[in-house]
Structure 1
């Protein structure tokens, strides 16, 4: 009986999340306008741990072109062993962006980046059934990493052409909604941590749970 009540309560919370707009995605005329977008915080350390670097970011829609995301983590030094795209960047210190642009179609994207600029990018319906994006598709993205004195920053641009080829969604305009989550991670036992922007209710570490993505809406102004 207790288990059934727990399931009902979890379903109720998930339904409430689905009905709530968590984040406004500002339409931008250029990528240099990303600082006008609303800041989000990655502060839900869902599975404990003492290492909790301050991590935050912004997301916008570059008009008619694609998604722009900037994430910053205040940590030094951000270790990066992986220097190959689609390698295990999550073993290093990494920041990640998971999203789905069309809830009527099965599947979501995950983009994971370490401080060396290596990108792991996949698409699929769940953790066990994912396919890596090809080198040709990854080449259409732009990922720039800056390592500063007291922090490191990722600027990621994902063109709508990539999203359309993989998921069939041609673009985003004002009023469109997506689901997404942002993460800070290191799976290596040295400073292991798992942080998310929107909370995840799961007993073990797992970012691949789209039912816990937050809702966002595209807006012309904030």
Structure 2
């Protein structure tokens, strides 16, 4: 998987309008989430793209999704958002020994966890930490398809187990996903392909590289 060069932006810290925030990402490169990792059991592939950029204090993610149906059941932090129409971002600061999983459904409901790939070590963030992530969502129906977008403004303070969250010039490991476990057509697609026998996104050995532009 070709590494992503994450551009650095200069966004005033008092910017609260999501339309203004999105305008800063207008020229940021678009990437696709298109690997159908378990095609025999789960062949359905929604069309999914994302953009990623950063500042000294925040990460910015913008997803665009087109799928047949949208499910949006979960409204509270740390509920089972992966069962809904959901996008996910996993990020490791320590060469894949541990990683953060940030999962958000079409409503902007979030779940954030941290630990190693051994699920016994993983822990969920508290509600106050998850709600530091500002979200903006939009859903449009067109020609029998649901088109939805999700914009995330992620404070670097969310990565609370890191001694240093400075991103400039670093190369970190990550993966990006789209899933919907309880949709009529369940699916599990990724940016960096996963070679594993059953659906499981918690496979840091298959993360790709993000290099943060200096």
Tell me the TM-score range normalised by the shorter chain: 0.7 to 0.9
Q: 2:189 aligns with which of 166, 184, 195?
A: 195
- Partner deviation per Cα, 1:130-155 (whole Å, 9 max, x = no partner): 11111121122212211123411111
Residue 154 of structure 1 corresponds to which residue in structure 2? 150
Residue 41 of structure 1 corresponds to which residue in structure 2? 32
Unaligned runs of 5+ in 2: 12-20
Unaligned runs of 5+ in 1: 1-16
Residue 215 of structure 1 corresponds to which residue in structure 2? 209
Establish whether residue 71 from structure 1 lines up as the match of residue 67 from structure 2. Answer: no
- Partner deviation per Cα, 1:84-120 (whole Å, 9 max, x = no partner): 11100111111111111333x8411111111122111
Q: 1:168 aligns with which of 157, 163, 166?
A: 163
Q: Which protein has the larger Cα radius of gyration, Structure 1 or Structure 2?
A: 1
Aligned-residue offset at 1:78? 1.3
Residue 100 of structure 1 corresponds to which residue in structure 2? 92
Residue 106 of structure 2 corresponds to which residue in structure 1? 115
Say whether the 8 Å CA contact 1:54–1:74 is kept in structure 2.
Answer: yes
- Quick check: which one's helix share is greater? 1
Residue 45 of structure 2 corresponds to which residue in structure 1? 52
Q: Distance in 1 between matches of 2:211 and 2:137?
A: 27
CA shift in 2, pair 1:127/1:145, >3 Å: farther
Say whether the 8 Å CA contact 2:193–2:206 is kept in structure 1.
Answer: yes
Q: Paired residues, what number?
A: 197
Aligned-residue offset at 1:159? 1.1
Say whether the 8 Å CA contact 1:55–1:71 is kept in structure 2.
Answer: yes
Q: Distance in 2 between matches of 1:127 and 1:38?
A: 33
Residue 86 of structure 1 corresponds to which residue in structure 2? 78
Residue 116 of structure 2 corresponds to which residue in structure 1? 125
Q: Distance in 2 between matches of 1:54 and 1:120?
A: 23
Q: Distance in 1 between matches of 2:57 and 2:27?
A: 18
